[in-house]
Amino acid sequence: MNTAVAVADDPEAPAETPTEARGTTHEHTRTGMSKASLKQAYIDNLFYIQGRFREVATPHDLYMAAAFTVRDRMLDRWVKSAQIYKTSHARTVCYLSAEYLLGPHLANNLVNLGIAEVAQRAGEELDLDFNAILEEEEEPGLGNGGLGRLAACYMDSLATVQIPAIGYGIRYEFGIFDQIIDDGWQVERSDTWLRNGNPWEIPRPKISFPVMYGGHTEHDRDHAGHPRARWVPDMVISGVAFDTPVLGYGVENVNLLRLWKAEAPESFDFQVFNVGDYYGAVHAKIEAETISKVLYPNDDPEAGKELRLKQQYFFVSCSIQDMIRLHLNTVGPLDTFHEKFVAQLNDTHPAIAVAELMRLLMDEHEMPWDTAWTITRATFCYTNHTLLPEALETWSVGLFERLLPRHLEIIYEINRRFLDEVRVRYLGDEERVARMSLIDEAGGRRIRMAHLAVVGSRAVNGVAALHSELIKTTLLKDFYEMAPERFHNVTNGVTPRRFIVVSNPRLANLITEMCGNDRWIRDLDCLRDLEAHADDPALQARWREVKTAAKHDLAIWLNQHAGVVLDPQTMMFDIQAKRLHEYKRQHLNVLHIIRVYQRLKQNPNLGMVPRAFIYGGKAAPGYYMAKLMIKLINSVAEVINNDPQVNGYIRVAFMPDFNVKNGQRLYPAADLSEQISLAGKEASGTGNMKFSMNGALTVGTLDGANIEIREEVGAENFFLFGMTAEEVRRKQTEGYRPWDYYHGDHELKSDLDLIVSGLFSHGDTNLFRPLTDHLINHDPFMVLADYRAYLECQDTISEVYDRPAEWDRMSILNVARMGKFSSDRSIRDYAQRIWGIEPKPIGPEPSRRRS
């Protein structure tokens, strides 16, 4: 059986790893990296772990044997990392995130171990279908989109740049839903990602903490006369740890992702069962396990809101209790807690951690308020990820009072003390006091979680230059004016291991050949070496071959799963893949498709560049307008793809169930990346980085990270259109009238009228009217205002694509200049500017890939 392994900085870690040799090789078959060791380990795991011999092994058995073979090689490094972190009392980052959109583990871990090519050859000699084994892996859908994927990228980079770290979150039994398309509509199916087991996690039943809800508080004084509070809950559940090792690329460092599962302290009440109440006997188990059952319940009903708050408090409480346990067992008294740990709040979801650490320090460890508050504020840092008001969480005071009564008291006291500071600083400015209060008194009393996160943290950062500036000037303007030194920018990044090396091995190999080495995988700035070859016709031809091969792979997949036939040789692949939301403006893209369709119908000999318009993305189950947009996309696709007059020039495809695995098919195949959100609405956007790293050119607004990407790759290598954030604000101030645009542009009117006519809805003139009426009469994200500029930009794009050498040169330069957007750079920025933490290498200097 596999040996138990240590967790980062855990005193329960075993003291040593097995060392006995086996077989004809000098390597241990659990840790050896040679082809022979990998083959023997695979055979052993298939037999001893899966209990199968080859002739009866299922595809899942073959995958599990491969996963355990790779995991064993990670665990050896994990134990060593844990031992060194523990004995050195290494300062540790604790990343608190409600989401981790990890993607498949197997291929990524093979790359990070440096044995991808060796493993593939070993598989071939064992007569295994290596790609089929990779496809067999279930993706852990533990995130909703960019926020969760960013957390996963950061965990990869924390290990790669050798920063000791623990990621904390929830082990959702059902992740984000699986999306199927039925008659053009999104239909949600349960994401049962755990149904066949998860070989990458290790249960830790002994690491468990009580989490309390409801009840009341009692107040008295201790023997020294100090005030003390006691929370008497009416419900207590247990949070149990499940650990996943996170390996850095080319280094020995392995960090920890610890996810919490909710369980009842006693899952079966035998006394209740004996009197015949069979449901009541397991009621506590059902109620407890609901908390970690599903990612993001529908929070429209009150019950959904309550469950969402329960989830957030659940994982935060377990995580803070675990950090305190680790500190007491490895360092000692809690007065140095903030010197051992820095805790990063990934958006507002874990903001309740501020009140929870205060509660634990004061109520459980008897610290006075001032000492606890000093430690708390020195521990937390807060990342804001959105400027959308509806995404800034608030909770009703009534719900807090019912669910977390002690935390409500603490938040009131934090607010009282903080507002006293505000009043002293800004004499007589009660409007400012009201704006900065942690409690929103207007329209029902609500707790502002972003304000709690800001007040309880020593640093606040945005995730792109424009976003960070807008935080200072709009969203958190009052807080910035009061303490400007606490505000920072750290532009997001993505990991090149996942999104080039794993996703696009053909391109990775070509880059390595042209650069002369593979240092770029750890230092993405090395891609600059490609610039010298951007005008080389030979490289351009090979670059085009790599892109066409990726397009061919995607075309096969879309034909199999979406029933759409695309021509990768002649068609530009124009892709917009991201969460469906009105501010991301997928409907602006649709209007362009309809405009091209109408032009072709009016002039079949238009001679345009053939184009495949490809979409991917999920709509929140309760977001009707976003789901209607998916229906419109698929309805337009149905008409266009079946119209022989135009379908040789344009086709439309919607990729079902967009996730990390499917994203790895899309990013390498894109010629054009659609990043067309309204300026000032996207915090960063990381999809734009993934596309650009794979050679796609961007059509976009000056929004989020688009601004910095354009600065890096060069304005001449970026297709810019639309209003700036300042122009958007000015138009809103002056009074935006979409009706005027509708009547002032005959092509725009014709496109919207064609939707209303019923052409795309089998004659039903009402189906899409909610969407078109909303655009014509309200249009909060100014689709109609940017329509004409977008069309003109798209015409330019077609002209440039028709000049292959120019396009290929721009594509090469986009990749060459993407070094800034590695998540490794982001993590170094956090470590230096915000966390004050140094790398802690495990073993020798970073190594290069094995070939």
CA dist 5 to 12, 77, 254, 489, 590, Å?
Answer: 9, 10, 12, 37, 52
Cβ–Cβ < 8 Å for 353, 404:
no
Which listed residue (406, 584, 587, 651) is catalytic?
584
CA dist 113 to 76, 296, 616, 758, Å?
Answer: 12, 33, 31, 55
* Assigned token pair, 308: 């969402």
- Count Cα neighbours of 768 within 13 Å in the Cβ-side half-sphere: 29
Which listed residue (690, 710, 817, 849) is catalytic?
690
Our answer to whether residue 223 is catalytic in this structure is no
Pairing of strands 459-462, 439-440: unpaired
Cβ–Cβ < 8 Å for 476, 463:
no
Residue 470 makes CB contacts below 8 A (sequence gap 6+) with 387, 462, 680, 725
Task: Considering only the C-alpha atoms of the chain, give the largest distance between any 2 of them, rounded to a whole number of Å.
Answer: 92
Query: In 3D, which of 389, 303, 377 has the Cα closest to residue 345?
Result: 377
Cβ–Cβ < 8 Å for 112, 341:
no
Q: Exposed (0-12), middle (13-18) or buried (19+): which is 218, by Cβ within 10 Å?
A: exposed
CA dist 121 to 129, 555, 611, 665, 831, Å?
Answer: 11, 27, 38, 23, 39
Which listed residue (498, 579, 651, 820) is catalytic?
579
Residue 230 makes CB contacts below 8 A (sequence gap 6+) with 217, 218, 219, 220, 363
CB atoms within 10 A of CB 14: 13
Our answer to whether residue 584 is catalytic in this structure is yes
Our answer to whether residue 305 is catalytic in this structure is no
Task: Give CA–CA dist 507/109, Å, rounded.
Answer: 19
Our answer to whether residue 445 is catalytic in this structure is no
Our answer to whether residue 60 is catalytic in this structure is no
Whole-number CA gyration radius for the chain: 28
Task: Give CA–CA dist 788/779, Å, rounded.
Answer: 15
Task: Give CA–CA dist 8/383, Å, rounded.
Answer: 24
- Residue 576, beta-bridge partner list: 615
Which listed residue (17, 330, 383, 686) is catalytic?
686
The residue ranges of DSSP E strands in 320-477, in sequence order, are 341-346, 380-383, 394-396, 439-440, 446-448, 459-462
Phi, psi of 168 (to 5 degrees): -115, 140
Task: Give CA–CA dist 386/256, Å, rounded.
Answer: 27
- Residue 494, beta-bridge partner list: 822
Our answer to whether residue 579 is catalytic in this structure is yes
CA dist 731 to 584, 728, 782, 829, Å?
Answer: 19, 5, 10, 36
Which listed residue (39, 80, 385, 817) is catalytic?
385
> Edge-to-edge, what's the strand order for the sheet holding 672-675?
650-655, 611-616, 572-577, 672-675, 697-700, 719-720
Q: Exposed (0-12), middle (13-18) or buried (19+): which is 530, by Cβ within 10 Å?
A: buried
- Catalytic center residues: 385, 578-579, 584, 686, 690
